[in-house]
Amino acid sequence: MIQVENVLLSEDLFTAHFVCDLAACKGACCIEGDAGAPVEMEEIDTIEDNLEAIFPFLTPEGKKSIKELGVFTVDTDGDYVTTLNNGKECAFTTYDSNGTAKCGIEDAFRAGKTNFKKPASCHLFPIRLQKLHDMEALNYEQIDICKPACECGSKLQVKVYQFLKEPLINKYGEEWYAQLQEVDKLLTKSEI
């Protein structure tokens, strides 16, 4: 693990390659899994505050799930997660004309209806954030549905942390991200 300020980072963030390939995976990360996307209480409040603006972008099934269960539930680990539609996809999942899963929260953001893009756990995926007392740990979650993204990232030579530049800067700031770039240079030099 590598420490940058109060954040521990898996070396995989600097060695593995990743670029989402939605044409190949069809947004499977919004659909697969045994729970919704992890959300923080502040994000839940923001989603609830913006729900009226987000609702028009959701599917009828998503609207029904949210009306019945709310915007979040508690998973088996006791964590807050987005509500699912009948134990399947996230209730905020929408689909484009090609059948690719998208995020209704992000659709509302792109349409200028909210200033909240999507939960950090979604924006940072395939990085998973874990809280540790006074620190956070960022780990790269390697899953089968993302094999096309790994292949695409390898082809383009884009590392995980580089692909996630925008959400990492949003969460930790530009100066912090610049430190990641320095770590990457040092790791690359040590490989030579």
Per-residue pLDDT of 96-124, as tens digits, reads 888 888 999 999 999 999 999 999 888 88
164 and 120 co-located in one domain = no
Residue 11 shares a structural domain with residue 52: no
Out of 36-40, 101-105, 184-188, the most confident range is 101-105
**Contact status, residue 28 vs residue 45, Cβ threshold 8 Å:** no
Tally of structural domains, the chain: 2
Residues 62 and 139 in one domain: no
* Number of residues that make up the chain: 192
Answer with the one of 125, 158, 183 that is the final residue of a domain: 125
Give per-residue pLDDT as tens, 47-70: 999 999 999 999 999 999 999 999
Same structural domain for residues 136 and 176?
yes
- Expressed in angstroms, the distance from the first to the final Cα of the chain is 20
Check whether 191 has a pLDDT greater than 70.
no
**Type of residue found at 159:** K
Residue after which a domain boundary falls, among 125, 158, 179 = 125
Question: Are 134 and 64 part of one and the same domain?
Answer: no
Whether 192 has a pLDDT exceeding 60, the answer reads no
Are residues 54 and 113 both part of a single domain? Answer: yes
**Residue 45 structural domain:** 25-125
In this structure, the answer to whether residues 67 and 136 fall within a common structural domain is: no
Which of 75, 108, 125 lies at the terminal end of a domain, its last residue?
125
Same domain, 56 and 3: no
CA angle 71, 8, 105 (to 5 degrees): 20
Q: State the pLDDT at residue 188.
A: 80
Whole-number percent of the chain with pLDDT over 90: 55
Q: Is 74 exposed, middle or buried (0-12, 13-18, 19+ CB in 10 A)?
A: exposed
Alpha carbons within 13 A on the beta-carbon side of 72:
19
Are residue 42 and residue 92 in the same domain, yes or no? yes
36 in Cβ contact with 84 (< 8 Å): yes
Residues 39 and 9 placed together within one structural domain of the fold = no
Residues 42 and 94 in one domain: yes
Whether 114 and 153 map to the same domain: the answer is no
- Residues facing residue 180 across a β-bridge: none
- What's the CA gap between 49 and 177, in Å, rounded? 30
